[in-house]
């Protein structure tokens, strides 16, 4: 009976427990009574698994999750609860880790996974939410190798609090962690999809000071200096991923605040996260236009937008698509956000004299074909980048401006010769990131009359409108949004447009000419996403300026 049940398990979507119960002619719930007498093994339901946290002295939590094991404490040792207690390779592995033949129980895999998920939440919460724990001991180096096991085993409440925040941030896909101190203590906020959300609080002002000190220790900052801003960085292994953290500590009337920027440089190495323009969520027209600009033999492709709008990621995607072994590609960035195979990437180090302008001068002596300049911040960098584009190099770069047309004004304010700039420019991309409706709780929504009129004015036919709105669920943390996608306005700089700008034509005339060339403004691309139910008009108005 057992061999047949194991052979059938999984083939019809039924678990081993269901197959055994069916073969015995009983309900699955009755296995709790039958299993001990029939197989000499206890069968545990979900409530029994959740009665106590997993015992991780012999197995790491990641092993438990990966192999479907729940190590449950019992008198005299540990009961290893698995989905298939007759799986010989699993038993051999367990024996090697536990130092002998393990005591076994079994349960449905779904119940094991649910119990582990509940335990994971409990471990991460350990030391959070203002619990009164014994005074924190000296900071350990556990913050540089962060896992659920290290969080659980740490004797320091402060270390647990900081490490839990970092672990939670990575699991949630946050870009930044904010530690905000006030009279009551410290609050932790994560920037998720571009918006801050409170995830933890520590109602203890003394602990709040220790939390900031812990972050300073990790970033090798001066823990005694609390009157001036400090910047630093550190690297940590979170689970199996190596991350860099950029740290900013700022004094305030209530002590200090700290912000950690997460930089997962290995993200683009994952086969499941291959970077491309299509993976950014851009529409087909924008992708085609950007690819055309990125494949020019020389000149400058410039991406503009506010901080956090994905400018550098777009340039990475464009570089990844055109990268070949025949080209020498060099980047200078502050900081290097992702590692690109086959590309020489240089981090800015202003303390040592390596600025964007100095680095760019050196790059030009290194025989490059394509150059990425992380950001044009000053006239010297702008001048060198323009000259590089005019002398046969393909230059990718970014600049902070609100629109494609504001870019020209930015160069003018830097006193860069307008003729040189326009001769170098191949095109400008203005970009924003829009939050997407949560796919699990999105519901159809009828358009309000004002929105219907706005869509109609944008050239979107009423019969093509499929509005949606998400009320919020566990999957999206009750925000109604999950993930972000890029929208882009792509302006190729051709002869006619170049001539208009050089003769300083009226901006309204230049915009009309761009529309005639098929350029679709950011606001209209955003409305396209509203019309197809990908996002909401509220999100569009938060991100895009209609003026």
| pLDDT tens track for 59-91 | 766 667 767 889 888 777 888 998 878 777 788
Of the candidates 127, 358, 143, the one whose C-alpha atom is nearest the C-alpha of residue 247 is 143
Sketch the domain layout of the chain as residue ranges: 2-121, 128-263, 270-433+484-520
Question: Can you list the alpha helix ranges (DSSP code H) found in 220-337?
Answer: 284-294, 311-322
Q: Please tell me the distance from the alpha carbon of residue 489 to that of residue 452, in angstroms, as a whole number.
A: 23
Beta-strand pair 299-304/255-263:
unpaired
In this predicted structure, what is the pLDDT of residue 135? Answer: 29
- Write down the architecture of domain 2-121 according to CATH: 2-Layer Sandwich (3.30)
Q: Give, in order, the Cα–Cα distances in Å from 99 to each of 67, 88, 90.
A: 18, 16, 14
Question: Is residue 269 pLDDT above 60, yes or no?
Answer: no
Res 148: pLDDT: 60
Residue that the structure tokens 């009337």 belong to: 253
pLDDT tens digits, one per residue of 343-357: 999 999 888 889 999
Q: What is the mean pLDDT of residues 477-489?
A: 92
CATH of domain 128-263: 3.30.450.90
The domains spanning 2-121 and 270-433+484-520 adopt the same CATH topology: no
Closest CA to 80 of 479, 99, 276, 286: 99
Q: What is the mean pLDDT of residues 474-493?
A: 92
Are 177 and 169 contacting, i.e. CB atoms less than 8 angstroms apart? yes
Spell out the CATH class of 270-433+484-520. Answer: alpha beta
What are the residues facing 489 on neighbouring strands?
430
**pTM for this predicted structure:** 0.70
Percentage of the chain modeled with pLDDT above 90: 44
Is the pLDDT at 458 greater than 80? The verdict is yes
Query: What pLDDT, on a 0 to 100 scale, did the predictor assign at position 137?
Result: 30
Distance CA 513, CA 143 (A): 56
158 within 8 A of 185, measured Cβ to Cβ: no
CA angle at 375 for the pair 382 and 315, rounded to the nearest 5°: 115
Q: What is the pLDDT of residue 130?
A: 33
Cis amide prior to 335 (ω within 30 degrees): yes
Q: Which of 427, 169, 486 is nearest to 309 (CA)?
A: 486
> How far apart, in whole angstroms, are the C-alpha atoms of residue 73 and residue 69?
13
pLDDT over threshold 50, residue 402: yes
pLDDT at 275: 80
Say whether 527 sits in a helix, a strand or coil.
helix
**pLDDT the model gives residue 308:** 86
> What digits encode the pLDDT tens for the residues 305-356?
998 899 999 999 999 899 889 999 999 998 888 888 889 999 998 888 899 9
pLDDT at 118 over 90: no
Selection from 217, 201, 389, 420 nearest residue 301 by Cα: 389
Which candidate, 186, 198, 140, 144, places its Cα nearest to that of 167? 144
pLDDT of residue 15: 58
Tell me: pLDDT of 294 over 70: yes
């Amino acid at each position: 009976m057992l061999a047949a049940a194991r052979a059938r398990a999984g083939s019809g979507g039924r678990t081993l427990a269901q197959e055994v119960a069916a073969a015995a002619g009983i309900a699955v719930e009755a296995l709790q009574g039958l299993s001990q007498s029939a197989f000499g093994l206890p069968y545990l339901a979900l409530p029994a698994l959740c009665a106590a946290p997993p015992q991780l002295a012999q197995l790491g939590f990641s092993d438990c999750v990966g192999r479907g094991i729940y190590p449950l404490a019992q008198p005299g040792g540990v009961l290893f609860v698995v989905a298939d207690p007759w799986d010989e390779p699993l038993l051999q592995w367990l024996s090697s880790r536990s130092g002998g033949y393990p005591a076994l129980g079994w349960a449905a895999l779904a119940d094991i996974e649910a119990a582990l998920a509940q335990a994971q939440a409990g471990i991460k919460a350990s030391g959070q939410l203002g619990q009164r724990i014994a005074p924190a001991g000296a900071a350990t180096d556990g913050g540089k190798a962060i896992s659920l096991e290290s969080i659980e085993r740490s004797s320091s409440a402060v270390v647990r609090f900081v490490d839990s925040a970092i672990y939670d941030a990575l699991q949630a896909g946050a870009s930044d962690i904010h530690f905000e101190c006030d009279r009551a203590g410290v609050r932790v906020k994560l920037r998720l999809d571009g918006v801050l959300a409170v995830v933890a609080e520590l109602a203890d002002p003394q602990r709040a000071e220790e939390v900031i000190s812990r972050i300073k220790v990790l970033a090798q900052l001066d823990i005694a200096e609390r009157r001036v801003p400090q910047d630093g960085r550190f690297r940590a292994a979170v689970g199996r991923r190596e991350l860099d953290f950029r740290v900013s500590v700022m004094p305030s009337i209530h002590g200090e605040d700290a912000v950690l920027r997460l930089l997962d440089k290995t993200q683009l190495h994952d086969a499941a996260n291959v970077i491309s323009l299509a993976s950014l969520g851009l529409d087909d027209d924008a992708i085609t236009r950007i690819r055309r600009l990125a494949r020019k033999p020389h000149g400058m492709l410039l991406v503009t937008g506010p901080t956090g709008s994905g400018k550098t990621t777009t340039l990475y995607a464009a570089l990844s698509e055109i990268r070949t072994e025949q080209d020498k590609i060099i980047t200078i960035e502050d900081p290097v956000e992702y590692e690109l195979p086959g590309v020489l990437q240089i981090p800015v180090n202003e303390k040592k004299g390596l600025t964007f302008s100095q680095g760019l001068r050196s790059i030009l002596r290194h025989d490059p074909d394509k150059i990425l300049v992380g950001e044009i911040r000053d006239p010297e960098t702008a001048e060198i980048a323009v000259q590089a584009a005019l002398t046969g190099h393909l230059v990718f770069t970014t600049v902070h401006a609100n629109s494609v047309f504001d870019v020209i004004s930015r160069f003018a304010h830097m006193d860069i010769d307008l003729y040189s700039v326009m001769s170098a420019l191949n095109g400008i991309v203005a970009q924003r990131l829009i939050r997407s409706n949560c796919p699990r709780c999105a519901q159809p929504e009828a358009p309000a009359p004002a929105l219907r009129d706005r869509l109609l004015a944008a050239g979107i036919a009423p019969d093509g409108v499929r509005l949606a709105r998400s009320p919020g669920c566990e999957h999206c943390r009750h925000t109604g949004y999950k993930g972000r996608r890029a929208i882009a306005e792509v302006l190729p700089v051709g002869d006619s447009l170049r001539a208009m700008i050089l003769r300083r034509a009226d901006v309204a005339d230049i915009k009309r000419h761009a529309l005639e060339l098929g350029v679709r403004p950011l606001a209209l691309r955003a409305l396209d996403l509203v019309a197809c139910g990908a996002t909401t008009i509220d999100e569009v108005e938060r991100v895009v300026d209609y003026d």
